[in-house]
Every structure is written in C-alpha cells, then in structure tokens.
Amino acid sequence: MLTDSPAPDTHVIAVAVNGVDYRRTVGSRLLLSDFLRHDLLLAGTHVGCEHGVCGACTVIFDGVAVRSCLMLAAQADGHAITTVEGLAPGPDELHPLQAAMRECHGLQCGYCTPGVLMTMKAFLDETPAPDEAQIREALSGNLCRCTGYQHIVEAVQLAAAQLRKSSP
C-alpha cells in the first residue's frame, strides 16, 4: 500500500449510457456494475458472482458484450454503454428479444435475464441467422439456474427470425 495515500482516489468521468450523457465523480475502485446500479440507479444490470463467471452483469460496451463487474467505472470515461434499460424502443414496447423471452418462457426467476439479453443482443447484431450450436456457444458465458437453457435458445431463435423479418 502507498503509505502516503491521502483522500480516496477519485476521477471525474463522462460516459454515455443508453444514449444519455452522464458526468460523475467516481472512486478508483468502484466497479462499473456498481456504478451503473448505485450511482446511475440503473439496477437492471444484475450482479451475480463479481468475478466474471455468471454473466448476469453483462452490458454492451462500445458495441461489444462485456462483464461490467470486471471493469472499473473509471475505465468507462469517454465510452458508450448500453444496459438492459436501453434495449426496449419505448416504455410500452419490448425489444424483439424481450418479447421472445416472454413468449417462449425463457426465464423463471429472471436474475440472469438482463445479462442474457445483452449478450444475445450483441450476438444477433453480429450473427443475424445463427444455428442452435452458435446460440449455445454464445450463451456459454451466462449461467441460468432455472430454465435449463432450452427455452432461452428457443427465444433467441424466435427473436432472430423476428429481427430478420423486420430489417429490410
């Protein structure tokens, strides 16, 4: 430890979350997951294991799915993040992935769902017509203790079909 460490080390960050610009002062050891939940009050991002195993805290960071518990809030300075709150197009509308999860019973307790949704959002952006093996591979970093994954896979297949239909 630094013997001369005075006040807690803080940093001013500017970050765009779901299209909204925020400017906040954060401690250096604040995790991005806790920043989203406690500072921005976007509690849709769930925190499961806090060591990168469960995937519940997955967000989209500069276009790719990452674990928010394995990043520091200070690292988000100057970057763009999408959380599950930014997925639906409007307050009374669901994203096709969310609608498909409801339709296919892709969740029970729902704890893993935000991470699953954000992982699958980034996956379908890159792989619009996935086969089942690709979906299971892409889901491998998200633990679900309820569903046995079958219904999640079906939901992703349905959402992929819907998204393909709606995109020109």
Partner 1 sequence: MKPAPFKYIVARSIAQALALKAEYGGDAHFLAGGQSLVPTLNFRLTQPAVLIDINPLIECAGLKNSVSETVLIGALTRYGKLERDPAIAKNLPLVHEALPHIAHPQIRNRGTIGGNLAHADPASEMPAIVLALAGRLRAQSRTAERWIAAADFFAGALSTTLEPDEMLMDVELPVARPRSGSSFMEVSRRRGDFALIGVACTVELDAEGNCVQAAVALCNAGETPILAVDAGRSLLGRPLDAAAIDQAAALIQTAIDPGGSIHASKDFQRHLAGVLTKRALTAANERVQRAH
* In the complex, minimum distance from the CB of residue 31 to partner 1, in angstroms, rounded to a whole number: 7
Q: 105: alpha, beta or left, given left = phi > 0 and alpha = psi -120 to 50?
A: left
Compute the residue count for the chain: 168
Q: Which of residues 83-122 bind partner 1 (CB under 8 A)?
A: 119
134 binds partner 1 (CB under 8 A): no
The residue among 96 and 115 lying less far from partner 1, judged by its C-beta, is: 115
> How many residues of this chain bind partner 1 (CB under 8 A)?
32
138 touching partner 1, by CB under 8 A = yes
Out of 8, 19, 90, 168, which residue is the one contacting partner 1 (CB under 8 A)?
A: 8
Question: Which three-class secondary structure state does DSSP give residue 65?
Answer: strand
Confirm if 85 and 44 have CB atoms less than 8 A apart.
yes
Cβ partners under 8 Å of residue 103, min gap 6:
155, 158
| Closest CB 65 distance from partner 1, rounded Å | 5
Which amino acid type is present at position 14?
A
- 143 burial (CB, 10 Å; 0-12 / 13-18 / 19+) is middle
* Residue 152 engages partner 1 in binding (rule: CB under 8 A): no
Please give the residue ranges that form the binding site for partner 1 (CB under 8 A).
1-2, 5, 8-9, 11, 28-29, 31, 34, 50-52, 55, 58, 64-67, 69-72, 74-75, 77, 119, 123, 137-138, 140-141
